[in-house]
């Protein structure tokens, strides 16, 4: 029996995909299709919005300081905070 009707749950792994591509997204290096896919996801995902904002600030700051577009890897502490925010958002969405 293949009942693949739980499409809503597929939003969770989408987060990881979005996270992995956010730097390309900011640099404008994504295909228009991927770009739109990410924008649509972010519009409905507070943790991703927060992450994107932080990443943008980081990119901007590194531009201002050194004229480079490089951004250091996400600090483990920040990543842990994000995951907590994520789980909170996801459990609220899944919560019955």
Residues at the site binding Zn ion, with contacts judged by CB under 5 A: 15, 45, 48
**Structure-block tokens of residue 36:** 């739109």
Minimum separation from the CB atom of position 68 to Zn ion (A): 27
**Structure-block tokens of residue 44:** 């409905």
Minimum separation from the CB atom of position 91 to Zn ion (A): 14
Closest CB to Zn ion among residues 15, 71: 15
Closest CB to Zn ion among residues 12, 70: 12
What's the CA gap between 29 and 42, in Å, rounded?
17
Neighbouring residues of 34: CB distance < 8 A, sequence distance ≥ 6: 21
At what angle are helices 76-94 and 46-66 packed, to 10 degrees? 160
Minimum separation from the CB atom of position 61 to Zn ion (A): 23
Closest CB to Zn ion among residues 47, 71: 47
């Amino acid at each position: 029996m293949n009942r693949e009707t739980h499409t809503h749950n597929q939003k969770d792994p989408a987060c990881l995909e979005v996270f992995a591509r956010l730097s390309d997204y900011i640099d404008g290096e994504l295909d228009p299709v991927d770009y739109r896919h990410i924008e649509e996801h972010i519009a409905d995902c507070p943790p991703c919005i927060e992450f994107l904002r932080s990443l943008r600030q980081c990119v901007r700051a590194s531009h201002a300081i050194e004229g480079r577009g490089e951004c250091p890897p996400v600090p483990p502490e920040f990543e842990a905070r994000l995951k907590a925010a994520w789980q909170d958002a996801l459990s609220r969405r899944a919560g019955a």
